[in-house]
Chains A and B, each alone.
Chain A
């Protein structure tokens, strides 16, 4: 293969990626604009709140409690190498709140919610339900997309807060029950060490990750191909894209918060 044709292929690949980013960005702006303009669909918003927020609590709680516990064990074992076992409460708190809480909740939401949104909307597209919505004078962006994105924007920070607390509780349980930490001292160290900016950064990350997860689910669903294969591809693509974008956004947001 000659260098010119390789350069051409590289150029085409870059253009394809940039075009995809452009389409997602336009879709996201369209979705956000529909969230602000009537008509609004409170019933669909309520259902989305329930599905994205309330019904995600078990998976978020279980993920957080095991991660918090494992984190306490790791920090204790690692800290013992340089006589720093006592830092377990502080590192568990900061690790869960700043990083693991939002990222794990974001990835769990990508797995649970993004896939479900993409599969549901893609199936609606394949079975002409989206065309039916249009003929019934209902804008699919307003009826299907805006309520889900708004619900994710509002509920995922709450899920992150719950995940942070449960993760810290997991670390606390392991530290107190297995590693011989004093209960009151562990809690005091945790509370004293956390700053308001840690909590704010956690919640802001949650809002960003929730928005990404919902938008990717809706985007892939609305642009799915035909048939069962189209629904499968949309679902798989939405989860992959949401997970990668969440991790990329986490890196960017972490950098932003450190620079403030």
Chain B
């Protein structure tokens, strides 16, 4: 279980997280929604330790995220970045097998390559992609490679940062379905941040809406449409009128 308790983070005068409380049960898929600049990515980066919160507690399986063996902690995670964040100097298979080629999970290069090709196949890419450079791939293919990298070391927890941003609706649907399938198949705990309501409905077990640095609403995805929360209602229906101020 991932648990955030009263997490606060400011950048100068910009108070992004103002006491974030959130629980993500083990093996469940939580999707965090909210407008741009509401702190969704900051929350995710705080859990990973990429950003240090000003105050509050973050625990993963009861363990303080900021204490203990950092490598062992990070080994639990896989992450799909918004832009893919593939290493452009490395061929696709080395991107996917990055973790398997170095550090505590290191294994022989042949074996790591085989695993990478298997993971590429799992996300719908053919083995001939393995030796290409990321710059030679389309946006959708790069997302798939990022997804393959995220699952390569069979992590317990997978984070997805805006997994469908920049993709056409059909490719978005494909990526959403892949994420759902993989999360269920691996039994992993998943946390996704997105604006895309089709992703929310395809991926989520539970949904949390972040607004003004706190969780505005959280609950099962099935309850989302009948939540009665005007903020959530405005967001999921994409209305300009409502309690959330829209800058025109």
Contacts and interface: CB of A to CB of B under 8 A. Distances in A.
B102 A41 contact: yes
A30 interface: no
Contacts of B78: 135
A9 B64 CA distance: 44
Interface string B74-90: 11011101110111110
B50 interface: yes
Contacts, number: 49
B81 A137 contact: no
B214 to A, nearest CB: 25
B83 A135 contact: no
B48 A132 contact: no
Interface string A104-115: 000000000000
A127 B81 CA distance: 9
A132 B78 CA distance: 10
B5 to A, nearest CB: 22
A128 B82 contact: yes
B174 to A, nearest CB: 22
Given A137-B74, A137-B75, A137-B99, A132 B104 contact: no
B102 A128 contact: no
Contact of B98 (A124, A127, A136): A136
A134 B48 contact: yes
A137 B87 contact: no
B238 interface: no
Interface in B116-168: 149
B245 interface: no
A132 B71 contact: no
Given A128-B82, A128-B83, A39 B102 contact: yes
Given A39-B103, A129-B87, A135 B48 contact: yes
B195 interface: no
A132 B81 contact: yes
Contacts of B79: 132, 135
A236 B71 CA distance: 35
B99 A128 contact: no
A129 B89 CA distance: 11
B66 interface: no
Interface of B: 45, 48-50, 70-71, 74-75, 77-79, 81-83, 85-89, 98-99, 102-104, 149
Given A131-B50, A131-B85, A138-B98, 5 more contacts: A41-B102, A47-B89, A131-B45, A135-B48, A137-B103
Interface of A: 39, 41, 47, 124, 127-129, 131-132, 134-138
